[in-house]
């Protein structure tokens, strides 16, 4: 293996460290900002473990592409240095672009989805009211004359 291939693989491992740290940071930020009673917050540890597994599999995939899966002793140190680079330099940049992405793309899409679901829900409520309208007088008469027969007797 030539020196340039080793240097390329070292840069690839540092890059995977940066991306893995960003990915885990996204998971931690998402679980932190979820509601207190949210299912996401209650399962935060599970999501983080799944995130670490995905990051590890992705790292080995990159390693397979760069060096046909050959693992070197300096790979964990390169990844750790990539994670430390993320924490020290790239953290604010990723958070800035993540906030822009959230405000310009994700929140408007979620707003549109919620708006469409609200319209569909209102249509179903209207249809249910229209369907149950003819049965209301019958139900009122039934509850007026026969409603007491179905009450539970108190002892």
Q: What is the predicted pLDDT for the residue at 29?
A: 86
Torsion of CA 142, 145, 148, 149, to 10 degrees: -80
| pLDDT at 118 > cutoff 90 | yes
Q: Is 48 exposed, middle or buried (0-12, 13-18, 19+ CB in 10 A)?
A: middle
Task: Give the residue, 123 or 8, on which the prediction is more confident.
Answer: 123
| pLDDT at 153 > cutoff 70 | no
| DSSP structure string for 57-111 | HHHHHHHHHHHTT---TTHHHHHHHHHHHIIIIIHHHHHHHHHHHIIIIIHHHHH
Q: What is the predicted pLDDT for the residue at 32?
A: 84
| 8 Å CB contact between 47 and 26 | no
pLDDT single digits (tens) 87-116:
999 989 988 998 898 899 988 999 999 999
What are the extents of the domains in the chain? 3-145
Beta carbons within 10 angstroms of residue 144's beta carbon: 9
Tokens of 127: 């249809």
| 8 Å CB contact between 26 and 98 | yes
Please give the Cα distance from 79 to 63 (Å, whole number).
11
Closest to 67 (Cα-Cα) out of 12, 116, 142: 12
Q: What is the predicted pLDDT for the residue at 126?
A: 96
Please give the Cα distance from 14 to 79 (Å, whole number).
5
């Amino acid at each position: 293996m030539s020196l340039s291939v080793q240097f390329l693989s070292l840069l690839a491992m540092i890059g995977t460290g940066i991306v893995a740290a960003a990915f885990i940071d996204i998971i931690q930020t998402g679980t932190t900002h979820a509601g207190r009673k949210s299912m996401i917050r209650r399962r935060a540890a599970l999501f983080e473990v799944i995130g670490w597994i995905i990051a590890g599999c992705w790292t080995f995939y990159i390693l397979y592409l760069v060096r046909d899966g050959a693992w070197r002793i300096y790979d964990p140190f390169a990844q750790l240095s990539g994670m430390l680079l993320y924490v020290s330099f790239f953290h604010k940049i990723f958070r800035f672009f993540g906030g822009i992405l959230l405000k310009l793309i994700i929140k408007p899409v979620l707003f549109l989805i919620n708006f469409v679901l609200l319209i569909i829900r209102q249509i179903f409520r209207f249809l249910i009211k229209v369907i149950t309208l003819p049965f209301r007088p019958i139900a009122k008469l039934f509850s007026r004359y026969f409603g007491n027969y179905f009450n539970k007797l108190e002892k």
